[in-house]
Amino acid sequence: MKRVDDFRLTFKDLEGNEKKYVPIMIGGMGVDISTADLALEACRLGGIGHISDAMINTVTDRRYNTKHVKDKLKQYKFNVANSDKSVVQFDLAQLEEATRLHVEGTMKRKQGDGLIFINCMEKLTMNGPKETLRVRMRAALDAGIDGITLAAGLHLGSFSLIEDHPRFREAKLGIIVSSVRALQLFIKKSARTGRLPDYVVVEGPLAGGHLGFGMDWEQYKLEDIVAEVVAWIKEQGYDNMPVIAAGGVFTGSDAVRFLEMGCGGVQVATRFTVTKECGLPDDVKQEYYKASEELIEVNQISPTGYPMRMMKNTPAIGSGIRPNCEAYGYLLDANGSCSYIQAYNKVIEENPTAKKISEIHVYEKTCLCTHMRNFDCWTCGHYTYRLKDTTNVLPDGRYQLLTAEHVFKDYQFSTDNQIALPPLDETAV
Ligand SMILES: Cc1cc2nc3c(=O)[nH]c(=O)nc-3n(C[C@H](O)[C@H](O)[C@H](O)COP(=O)(O)O)c2cc1C
């Protein structure tokens, strides 16, 4: 019976030399849920870790003592009551600085034989989609990131934004797709740059975060999409383009199934949300552990327009917080608008006497920036309800947190759908 460790993910460098990795990628989880610490563990253990550049200015304010959010709010405070947010622009020099700080700060701590990639979501349109994405990707390359995973969007113009960067052909560049059609479109539209993606993450409907499906997500199966993508890549003769399967890969045996189908690796996330290295606060990690299957839903409250999976008791649902675009504004489209602003204004109009935030409930959309920033939007993978089976219950009823190393090695070495429990943490008892 095979285990994940019997396989390796292979990338070729520009000279054609092969490098091999443990075929486990920890997926990007914004905002700073996939921390540098988590990514560095995957890398140390010979796999691939992701940091994320979602709400990067907020992340560096927290971790590197910058004051970007405060500065932005101060500059645009005059506009807070205005529904038109088109004046609220990101300072590109600050965005560049924030990305550089986060990437450099991570890369200089790198150990082991693995790689560190950054998850870059196109849907973070930041009131200047092209300009801001260009700065984010170029700054990450400047700061030495090993690779960029293009996420949450079709990214049809993304390669063009960096094609003149000195590291364009050397850094690993990949894309997340949920259909063979999306991959075909990306490759067609990027053909002019003379570069193919180095890897393709195929994300199925059981993943956490935003889904690349409609509300009919239940009709799709990761296995079917992976089979289609693997077959198409083979047909095209793209020999060096590993397919990475993602979404609902919960055990080492799940991973082996995909590796045996011809995937180069798997991308996993949910199992790591309850590790010490994960950026969620400890009390939120307990919520992830406690979740029942009935508590997990796919809804449409994300202003991105993509369905998103989350727990029904997530504080973000129904919160009536005032749009916070002057401080954040990561989801403002090219015209300075976000669907939460309309949803919020509609509720305010319908409830003219409501004054306190506890009296205002917006169910249609959520202020994703504010709630992700505060860890109040509990997005999660479909199998979150199985997390409780992966650890010990402590005498006080809490679940024991895991180490990223424990979960990583469980994926790497387990067989027969087994999940190894951690040694009881005596210090937590
Ligand atoms: C808490 C959480 C946050 C996530 N955030 C992002 C994100 O910011 N960008 C992204 O591309 N994918 C995101 N994902 C998706 C993961 O990177 C990954 O592809 C997927 O969840 C793998 O499936 P699994 O969670 O069943 O292992 C997130 C997943 C989780 C659980």
Q: Kindly state the tokens that stand for 369.
A: 């920036």
For residue 29, give its domain range.
Answer: 4-67+92-278+396-418
- Strand-pair partners of 310: 297, 379
In a domain, 379, yes or no: no
Q: How far apart are CA 292 and CA 362, in angstroms?
A: 25
In the chain, count H helices and then E strands.
Answer: 13, 15
Ligand 1: which of 270, 287, 330 to mutate, most ligand atoms within 8 Å of CB?
270
Supply the residue whose CA is at minimum distance from atom 16 of ligand 1: 27
Number of domains in the chain: 1
State how far Cα 102 lies from the chain centre.
16
In a domain, 321, yes or no: no
> So what's the pLDDT on residue 251?
98
Which ligand 1 atom sits closest to the C-alpha of 203? 19
Name 11's Cβ contacts closer than 8 Å, sequence gap at least 6: 18, 19, 21, 172, 198, 199, 240, 242
Q: Using the mean position of ligand 1's atoms as its centre, give its distance from the Cα of residue 6 in Å.
A: 25
In a domain, 354, yes or no: no
Which ligand 1 atom sits closest to the C-alpha of 380? 31
CATH number for the domain spanning 256: value is 3.20.20.70
User: What percentage of residues in the chain have a pLDDT greater than 70?
Assistant: 100
Q: Using the mean position of ligand 1's atoms as its centre, give its distance from the Cα of residue 354 in Å.
A: 36
Residue the block writes with tokens 């005032």: 322
Encode pLDDT of 55-87 as tens digits: 999 999 999 999 999 999 999 999 999 999 999
User: What are 11-14's contacts with CB under 8 Å, separation 24+?
Assistant: 11/172, 11/198, 11/199, 11/240, 11/242, 12/240, 13/170, 14/169, 14/170
Q: Is the peptide bond before 31 cis (omega within 30 degrees of 0)?
A: yes
Res. 358: pLDDT tops 90: no
What's the average model confidence in pLDDT over 145-160? 98
In a domain, 219, yes or no: yes
118 secondary structure, DSSP code = E
Res. 225: pLDDT tops 70: yes
Encode pLDDT of 313-356 as tens digits: 999 999 999 999 999 999 999 999 999 999 999 999 999 888 88
| Pick from 173-177, 217-221, 349-353, 404-408: least confident | 349-353
> So what's the pLDDT on residue 427?
77
Q: How far apart are CA 387 and CA 270, in angstroms?
A: 8
